[in-house]
Amino acid sequence: MSQDSDEHLIRYLLGDLPGPEAQRLDERSVVDDALALRVRVLEDDLVDRYARGEPFDISLERFDRLHRASPYLKDKVQFAHALHAVTAGGSTGTVQARVLPARRRVVISSLAAAAVLAVAVSGYLFLLNQRLHEEGERLRAQPASDAVIAPVPALGTVTFLLPPPRRGADTDGTTVTVAKNTGQVVLRLQVESAEYARFWAALKDVVSGRTIWRSPDIAPEGAGPDRVLTITVPAALLSPQRYGIELSGIGASGSTELLSEYPIRVVLE
């Protein structure tokens, strides 16, 4: 099987490749725009097939299991359901939509997304306004002593400092404890390299080798041995297990170099 065949890339999307091969494709998709577009089109096709309710084959069975644990894929499936509901207009239109070129489908999906979002936001604001009006009327109608509004717990932020990785150190690394009401986990990475002015980081599952989350480009704080990079990871992405945070430097030409991996162990309370 060709390493760049559709079948091979679908296995990559479904987490069915060995860790080193998945890591190689992770890195290529960052610098190879053509490969990144192909991966996105194949992912969109899986989402479309799933949302249309097509009979399950091996790929859709794996996608079904994968998307249940992925907030990102759940959002894409929900959007695809909404998009099909808006664009449904008969069997002829459906057949034509299936044969659109990949790049054109991406453009149409983007335009349709904007239309669906506008409709959804308008409907949400209307319902929110109506509910607020009804709640205000209810509170005005009841005695003042009974008008008690339960506080809504706010999502918190926890911060951890990660020292530079050392050979032979504890492979579990820094323990990151995340409480139930935590919304964001801030990780401050101490950086020893003074060669680069920009970096990016990737959160990886050390068992499967899959990339869970990527940061945008980051500029370090401080100078010399006290340089620190700050990344903020959504707490909802974390499970009680070990992860590795791969740090890459970005050169002046845009090339990247993997510098180090910070091991962490997540504990949920």
Which CATH number is 255's domain given? Answer: 2.60.40.10
Instruction: Express as a percent the part of the chain with pLDDT over 70.
Output: 71
- Within 8 A by CB and 6+ apart from 1, the residues are 7, 8
Residue 234, phi then psi, degrees to nearest 5: -60, 130
pLDDT of residue 240: 93
Q: Which of 27-36, 52-61, 82-91, 206-215 has the lowest mean pLDDT?
A: 82-91
Distances from the Cα of 244 to the Cαs of 100, 118, 124, 129, 200, in angstroms?
40, 39, 39, 45, 14
- 3-state percent helix, strand, coil for the chain, nearest multiple of 5: 45, 25, 30
Domain that holds residue 199: 156-268
Please tell me whether residues 128 and 172 are part of one structural domain.
Answer: no
Please tell me whether residues 163 and 215 are part of one structural domain.
Answer: yes
**Banded model confidence at residue 96, pLDDT cuts 50, 70, 90:** very low
Overall number of domains in the chain: 2
Please tell me whether residues 138 and 260 are part of one structural domain.
Answer: no
Q: Which of 113, 106, 111, 102 is nearest to 80 (CA)?
A: 113
Please tell me whether residues 99 and 172 are part of one structural domain.
Answer: no
The whole-model pTM stands at 0.45
Instruction: Give the mean pLDDT of the chain.
Output: 79
Which of 44-48, 80-84, 216-220, 263-267 reaches the highest mean pLDDT? 263-267
pLDDT of residue 243: 95
Strands 242-250 and 256-268: antiparallel
Please tell me whether residues 20 and 117 are part of one structural domain.
Answer: yes
Please tell me whether residues 10 and 100 are part of one structural domain.
Answer: yes
Strands 242-250 and 156-162: unpaired
Say yes or no to pLDDT of 182 above 50: yes
The whole-angstrom separation of Cα 159 and Cα 164 is: 16
The whole-angstrom separation of Cα 227 and Cα 69 is: 36
Residue 201, beta-bridge partner list: 247
Which domain-ending residue is among 116, 149, 182? 149
**Banded model confidence at residue 94, pLDDT cuts 50, 70, 90:** very low
Put the strands of the sheet holding 228-234 in their side by side order: 156-162, 182-190, 228-234
Quote the crossing angle between the two packed helices 33-52 and 102-141, to the nearest 10°. 60
Higher pLDDT: 200 or 35? It is 200
**Banded model confidence at residue 98, pLDDT cuts 50, 70, 90:** very low
Please tell me whether residues 207 and 257 are part of one structural domain.
Answer: yes
Please tell me whether residues 31 and 99 are part of one structural domain.
Answer: yes
Calculated CA dihedral for residues 72, 75, 76, 77, nearest 10 degrees: 120
Please tell me whether residues 143 and 163 are part of one structural domain.
Answer: no
Say yes or no to pLDDT of 88 above 90: no
Residue listed under structure tokens 């791969």 = 246
SS3 166: coil
Which of 3-12, 149-158, 237-246 reaches the highest mean pLDDT? 237-246
Which domain-ending residue is among 149, 173, 189? 149
The whole-angstrom separation of Cα 21 and Cα 178 is: 31
Output the CA torsion sign for 188, 189, 190, 194.
negative
Which of 14-18, 30-34, 185-189, 254-258 reaches the highest mean pLDDT? 185-189
Which of 17-21, 74-78, 237-241 reaches the highest mean pLDDT? 237-241
Q: Do the Cβ atoms of 193 and 215 come closer than 8 Å?
A: no
Which domain-ending residue is among 93, 118, 149? 149
Say yes or no to pLDDT of 241 above 80: yes
Please tell me whether residues 80 and 124 are part of one structural domain.
Answer: yes
Please tell me whether residues 232 and 184 are part of one structural domain.
Answer: yes
Please tell me whether residues 8 and 83 are part of one structural domain.
Answer: yes
Say yes or no to pLDDT of 188 above 90: yes
Say yes or no to pLDDT of 80 above 60: yes
Higher pLDDT: 81 or 108? It is 81
**Banded model confidence at residue 18, pLDDT cuts 50, 70, 90:** confident
